[in-house]
Chain A
Amino acid sequence: MSAQAQMEEIRRLSGEQRAVPPPEPERPLSKRVALAMLLAALLAVSLLHSVLAKRFATQTDARAERAAMIAARAAADVASALGGEGDALRAAMAAWQKEHPNVEAVRVANIENRSLEASSFAEDLKEGEMPRQMQRPEKPLYDLGQELRADVETNVSEGKKREDEVAVSRERGAILIAAPVEKDGSVVGFVQVKGRPEIVAVEAPSFWFALAFAIAPFVVVFALSFVMKRELVLVVIACALLVMTLFAYRQWAMRTLEGGARAAEQRFTERVAREAGIAARIAPGTEAKAGTWDADIRRVPLKVDPARAVEGEKSAVANASYGIGLLALLLLLFVGTPAASRTASNLSEHRQAYLFILPAMLGMLLLVFFPFVYGIAVSFTSQTIYNVNKPYSEIWIGFQNYAEILGDFDLRTPAGINFENFYWTFFFTIAWTVTNVTIGVTVGLLLALILNTKDLRFKALYRVLLVLPWAMPNYITSLIWKGMFHQQFGVINQVIQLFGGGPIAWFERPFTSFCAVIATNGWLSFPFMMVVSLGALQSIPADLYEAARVDGATRWQQFRSITLPSLKPALVPAVILSVVWTFNMFNIIYLVSAGEPAHSTEILTTQAYKIAFEQYRYGYAAAYSTVIFAILLIYGVFQNRMSRATEAIAA
């Protein structure tokens, strides 16, 4: 026995041994369910707890900012009442700060004079007494003032509160709020207040309380596992317990959130009243504006209903709980049933195989799946050139983009067809694809049949010439064709005129424009089909035709019964491929017709490109691309079936 054969034998034996199902674990099944219950409950409760803790942290931050904002807005209105400059203003700001133990420092900057009018910031006082001109290191303050002025002016001119009118920032734990100071209706500066964050009515959830929630169902299942011997029943009970635990924890969490919100609203109302009292003492008359102080960052007054204040938080927690519940249930079933041990043994058995595909998988993950998932994520947002730097949570709009694309049946306008509608573009793309593939196959096959003629002279030369269109970069070909279709100087119209016809403005009507792009793409696509058909033709054994001739078959009969069926295995994949290529043939449309006239000859990919890079609606364009992907996916599934059917025929 050779060494190789020995190895084979060893491999076979060991393989056989592995194929034997693993021995039953020592631990009784029912105990395994209890373990699974513990793991799943721990996972579920700890995940939900961390989601909740994060919500509480954001709430705490948001409320601290809101409280600071009320104070800063009051200070800004006091400063505005005093004209935004002068000794009276400095005295008022000092008095105001005395009333606010939480406030560390206040400054008033005036951008018209480029001066600091008042300040209790240590770094400002180090540079000189107030008032004084701003120094070079204080450029950010001047720029902040300019930005607030520009934002307020933009909102006024647009008649809509779109830009932020108050600047919020953090500095080593302290909150800084800058609110505009106005004089005669225009922004002349701002008041910036630096204060320690206040905790306004938020109770942080306790981790131990959460842990108790996780332990309880485990204890129950563990106890039951001694009594019950039927695993299935135990698993069902465990699942039910898990769902109940999660639900109970969620309800408790939501009630806590809502209670916190109620208490907070009460405190904010009190806060505004207190600020009004202080303002009335320092700058009488300012308290009349107190109603506008409790406002958002755009200075739109908040009218908060405590019952609805935490609606968003609650739905976020609820949504998270569904996902977490599902995850925990899967874990429970995975560990609680023999699935886990089977997977582990599979992984260790095919260790090498998994190792081998790992590099490819990592590459795919990075280069294919990541951009793909990113694109899909963007498609659920309203991302545009204006808000690319905003987090997705702020611009998340769900399926709205898709609804807008697929739900728009507005195909008619007073002037005719609405060429920018998705369904027109889709229809045009299909027409474009079908026509092109038909032309490509017909011309390619015809030329292949001619080239396949026996004893044809200079066959190699023809072949090279006919493959040339394919060898040339297709954008060069496109630009040449575009030039040939020019109304006055194009060679095509000159030929038409030679035969007495009038010049055609090719890109002025959808149909002629369509003809132009089809001609260009036809020129580009037949060589591929020709090469494929020629290869297949040459592999058909000559004796088949000989036998047919002996049987008295005509040329046509030979073609139908021998040539076509023999070509099918080669042609079907070629057609499938060329459908996908043509469907996304960006260059030809973009360069030759450019969608003219009026976007009527746009295909889906060029349309997506124009939405993204001419209209700058990235979210909408991502949704558009995802729809294109879905269409091609459906086609892919269909094609898969079809090619399997042809394989069956071939077999």
Chain B
Amino acid sequence: MKKAFVLAAGLLLAVSVQAQTEIVVWHAYRGGEKTAFEKVVNQYNASQKKIKVSPLAVPYDAFADKITAAVPRGKGPDVFIYAQDRLGGWVTAGNTIEPIDFYLDKNLTGRFIPSTMQAMTYRKTTYGLPLNYKVMTMIYNKALVKTPPKTTAELVTVAKANTNAASGRFGLVYWYSNWYYHAPLFNAFGGGVFDAAGKPVVNSAANVKSVDVMMKWAEKDKILPAEPSTALITSLFNEGKAAIVFSGPWFLEEVSPKIQWGLAVLPTVTEAGGKPMKPWMTVEGVYIAAPSKKKDQAFEFAKYLTDTAATKILALEGSQTPANRNVYNDPQVAANSTLKAFRAQVDHAVPMPNVPEMTLMWSPVTTAMNAIVQKASSPKAALDKAQKDIVEGIVKLKK
């Protein structure tokens, strides 16, 4: 009798579980980010009975390739979270990301910082809800820099005062030979990689001018160390030998607790008529997999995840910088100086292009920037070569 009862209870449980829709979510979070994310998921699962979300952490290195391989064949998750830079490629490959314009209304899109919404849009179609953004800003050592510089002219003065190449001290340390870290400068001059019609414009006059400023810092002002790399930048800053670093939230995780650091908005560029430096912003989007059979439920979860209550947990416990603009009105979030600093920088940031051609841009511009820094080629000639290579690459890829 007892057995039969247990069996019946078990059956009942099985039936009630089956009535729930399971949504599988792939993400690449680790550590505190993962804990915060899972907390949000648990809260969601507890808040209602219809949808059960199962998160799965996939290693970041393999994430994009796994999505490319699994999702179009119907073997992937229902929802996945990734930066917008691969968006265009996935849309072009097809059957990977579900367009969500049909679900959207003013009320929903209005909760996000507009530029993050723009990052989710490809060919005027929206493909995801923005969750977090990552953007670089100015990080300074409070022991060396009392008031952070507001313009590049001030920056050079402050940096020169803190530079002594013989003892390995440098006023400004960032990966200036890397196109991503160079982005704030060329965006200040109004340069970029693609024009409005999607044609590459790497060798534009604005880009060349921006490189000239960078080379002036390296060659004439001598405030930059040679051959920068992430390892070098981290160790200089942690040894107290770097006054100012341009980098993002990922850098803060590496900073030694001995260093008192502060954040400030990147300076305006004196050479560009006082226009602000505008870093490239990457936006993590919540995407719905195109082959998913549970798209409506998946979107319900995406909506919950990007709402104020959920993003507050991600911000405070996962140290994320949410794309939800309302969360910054929360007193606890507003009191967090790091979040506040990154929020201030977003007003002067440009979403990194999400066109598929982006993947082709990195190799040529890296070669060009290295050639420029090594003085093997003039800025104009190096960028001309990069432009030619990108155009040729696109032709070869699209034939």
The closest CB in chain B to the CB of A151 belongs to B123
Is there an interface contact between A617 and B396, defined as CB atoms closer than 8 Å? yes
Q: Which residue of B101, B367, B398 contacts A386 across the interface (Cβ within 8 Å)?
A: B398
Tell whether, in the assembled complex, residue B198 and residue A157 are in contact, meaning their CB atoms are under 8 Å apart. yes
Contact A389 B94 (CB under 8 A): yes
Interfacial residues of chain B within 347-366, with CB under 8 A of chain A in the complex: 356, 359-360, 362-363
Q: Are A150 and B123 in contact (CB under 8 A)?
A: yes
Q: Is the CB of A488 within 8 A of B165?
A: yes
Kindly provide the distance from the CB of A25 to the nearest chain B CB, expressed in whole angstroms. Answer: 52
Q: How far apart are B71's CB and chain A's nearest CB, in angstroms?
A: 11
Majority DSSP secondary structure for residues of A touching B = loop
User: Given A596-B370, A617-B396, does the pair A389, B72 have CB atoms closer than 8 Å?
Assistant: yes
**Which listed segment binds B: A136-144, A194-202, A521-529?**
A136-144
B residues sitting closer than 8 Å to A (CB atoms) are 68, 72, 89, 92-95, 98-99, 101-103, 123-125, 165, 168, 197-198, 225-227, 231-232, 295-296, 356, 359-360, 362-363, 367, 370-371, 374-377, 381, 385, 393, 396-399
**A614 contacts partner chain B, Cβ-Cβ < 8 Å:** yes
**Listed residue (B165, B231, B356, B376) with the most chain A CB atoms within 10 angstroms of its CB:** B376
Chain A neighbourhood of B99, CB < 8 A? 143, 146-147
B168 contacts which of A136, A384, A489 (Cβ < 8 Å)? A489
Residues of B within 8 A of A505 (CB): 226-227, 374
Known contacts A162-B398, A597-B376; A386/B93 CB under 8 A: yes
A3 within 8 A of B: no
Where chain B touches its partner, the secondary structure class is helix
Which chain A residues border B168 with CB–CB below 8 Å? Answer: 488-489
Tell me, in angstroms, the Cα distance from A162 to B123 when the chains sit together: 15
Contacting residues, chain A, for B93 (C-beta < 8 A): 385-386, 388-389
Query: 15 A-B residue contacts at CB 8 Å?
Result: A142-B101, A143-B98, A146-B125, A149-B124, A153-B124, A385-B359, A386-B356, A389-B94, A488-B168, A489-B168, A489-B232, A505-B374, A597-B370, A615-B396, A617-B397
B125 touches A382 (CB 8 A): no
Interchain CB contact under 8 A, A599 and B367: yes
Task: Find out whether the CB atom of B363 lies under 8 angstroms from the CB atom of A614.
Answer: yes
Interface pair A386/B371, CB less than 8 Å apart: no
Q: Which of B99, B165, B168, B377 has the most CB of A within 10 A?
A: B99
- What A residues does B363 contact at CB under 8 A? 610, 614-615
A154 within 8 A of B: yes
| Cβ distance A90 to chain B, nearest Cβ, rounded Å | 23
- The 10 A-B pairs with the shortest beta carbon distances in the complex, nearest first, are A150-B123, A508-B374, A487-B226, A614-B363, A139-B102, A384-B397, A142-B102, A488-B226, A143-B99, A487-B227
Please indicate the chain B residues that have their CB under 8 angstroms from the CB of A487 in the complex: 226-227
User: In the bound complex, do residue B397 and residue A616 qualify as a contact, i.e. CB atoms below 8 Å apart?
Assistant: yes
Contacts A598-B371, A615-B360 supplied; 19 other A-B pairs, CB < 8 Å: A142-B101, A150-B125, A153-B124, A158-B198, A162-B398, A385-B89, A385-B92, A386-B89, A386-B397, A388-B68, A388-B93, A415-B377, A486-B227, A488-B225, A489-B225, A597-B371, A597-B376, A615-B396, A616-B360
> CA separation between A616 and B381, bound complex, in Å?
25
Contact of B367 among A158, A415, A598 (CB under 8 A): A598
- B370 cross-chain contacts in A, Cβ below 8 A: 596-598
Provide the residues of chain B in CB contact with A388, threshold 8 Å.
68, 93
B397 touches A385 (CB 8 A): yes
Q: Which of A460-489 contact B (CB under 8 A)?
A: 483, 486-489
List residues of chain B with CB within 8 A of the CB of A599: 367
Report which of A154, A489, A508, A610 forms a contact with B123, defined as CB distance below 8 A: A154
B residues in contact with A162, CB < 8 Å: 398
A616 to B363: give the CA distance in the assembly, Å. Answer: 11
The chain A residue sitting closest to B92, CB to CB, is A386
In the bound complex, residues from chain A placing their C-beta under 8 Å from that of B296 are: 136
Determine the residue in chain A with the shortest Cβ distance to B95. Answer: A389
Complex: A146 Cα to B99 Cα, angstroms: 9
Contact A157 B197 (CB under 8 A): yes
Q: Does A190 contact B (CB under 8 A)?
A: no
CB neighbours (8 Å) of B385 from chain A are 415
By a CB distance below 8 angstroms, the chain A residues around B103 are 139
A507 close to chain B: CB less than 8 A: yes
B381's nearest neighbour on chain A, judged by CB, is A415
Chain A nearest CB: distance from B291 CB in Å? 12
Q: Which residues of A contact B396 (CB under 8 A)?
A: 384, 615, 617, 620
Q: Nearest chain A CB to B39's CB is how many angstroms away?
A: 30
Given contacts A142-B102, A150-B125, A614-B362, contact A385 B356 (CB under 8 A): yes
Please measure, in the bound complex, the distance between the C-alpha atom of A483 and the C-alpha atom of B398, giving whole angstroms: 39
- Set of chain A residues within 8 Å of B397, measured between Cβ atoms: 384-386, 615-617
Of listed A139, A147, A158, A617, residue having the most chain B CB within 10 A: A139
Which residues does chain A contribute within 8 Å of B165, judged by CB atoms? 488
Residues of chain A with a CB closer than 8 A to B371's CB:
597-598
Residues of B within 8 A of A153 (CB): 123-124
What sequence of 0s and 1s flags, for each residue 437-452 of chain A, a beta carbon within 8 Å of any chain B beta carbon?
Answer: 0000000000000000
Inside 8 A of A134's CB, which chain B residues have their CB?
102
User: Shortest Cβ distance from B394 into chain A, in angstroms?
Assistant: 10
Tell me, rounded to whole Å, the shortest Cβ–Cβ distance linking B298 to chain A.
Answer: 13
Q: By the criterion CB–CB under 8 Å, are A146 and B226 in contact? A: no
Q: What's the least CB distance linking B197 to chain A, in Å?
A: 5
Contact A507 B374 (CB under 8 A): yes
Measured in the bound complex, the distance between the Cα atoms of B230 and A483 in whole Å is: 12
Among residues 317 to 338 in chain A, which have CB atoms less than 8 Å away from a CB atom of chain B? none
A486-B235 Cα distance, complex, nearest whole Å: 14
Which residues of chain A have C-beta atoms less than 8 A from B225's C-beta? 488-489
Q: Which residue of A has the minimal Cβ distance to B226?
A: A487
Please give the distance in Å from A423's CB to the nearest CB on chain B.
19
Contacts of A143 in B (CB 8 A): 98-99, 101-102
Residues of A contacting B381 in the complex (Cβ-Cβ under 8 angstroms): 415
Which residue from chain B places its CB closest to the CB of A397 in the assembled complex?
Answer: B399
Chain A's nearest CB lies how many Å from the CB of B253?
Answer: 20
Residues of A within 8 A of B98 (CB): 143
| Whole-angstrom distance between the Cβ of B395 and the nearest chain A Cβ | 10
Distance of A599 Cα from B231 Cα, bound (Å): 23
Give the docked Cα–Cα distance between A136 and B299 (Å): 12
Tell me the minimal C-beta distance from A135 to chain B in angstroms. 10
Q: Which residue of A lies closest to B367 (CB)?
A: A598
Q: A139-B102, A489-B232 are in contact. Are A597 and B374 (CB under 8 A)?
A: yes
Complex Cα spacing A157 to B355, Å:
14
Contact with B along A152-166 (1 / 0, CB 8 A): 011001100010000
| Chain A residues numbered 343-386 whose CB sits less than 8 Å from any CB in chain B | 382, 384-386
Considering only residues 605-624 of chain A, those with a C-beta below 8 Å from chain B are: 610, 614-617, 620
The digit string for A498-536, where 1 denotes a CB below 8 A from any CB of B, is 000000010110000000000000000000000000000
Point out the residue from B95, B124, B231, B375 that lies within 8 Å of A150, measured CB to CB. B124
Give A590 Cβ to nearest chain B Cβ, in Å: 13
Residues of B within 8 A of A114 (CB): 102
Q: Which residue of the partner chain B has the closest CB to A384? A: B397
Most buried by A among B101, B102, B125, B363: B102
Residue of A nearest to B371 (CB): A598
* Distance between Cα atoms of A598 and B396 in the complex (Å): 21
Nearest Cβ on chain B to A426's Cβ, whole angstroms: 20
How far does the Cβ of A447 sit from chain B's closest Cβ, in whole Å?
32
Residue among A136, A382, A614 having the largest count of chain B Cβ atoms under 10 Å: A614
Residues on B with C-beta less than 8 A from A415 are 377, 381, 385
CB-CB nearest in chain A for B225? A488
**Quick check: A382 and B376 within 8 Å, CB to CB?**
no
Q: Report the nearest B residue to A487, measured CB to CB.
A: B226
Looking across the interface, which residue of chain A has its beta carbon closest to that of B377? A415
Q: Do A598 and B376 have beta carbons less than 8 Å apart?
A: yes
Whole-angstrom distance from the CB of B281 to the nearest CB of chain A?
A: 23
Q: Which of A109-139 contact B (CB under 8 A)?
A: 114, 134, 136, 139
Rounded to whole Å, the gap between the CB of A472 and the closest CB of chain B is: 18
B368 nearest in chain A by CB position: A598
Q: What is the CB-to-nearest-CB distance from A116 to chain B, in angstroms, rounded to a whole number?
A: 13
Given A488-B165, A616-B359, are A483 and B374 neighbors across the interface (CB < 8 Å)? no
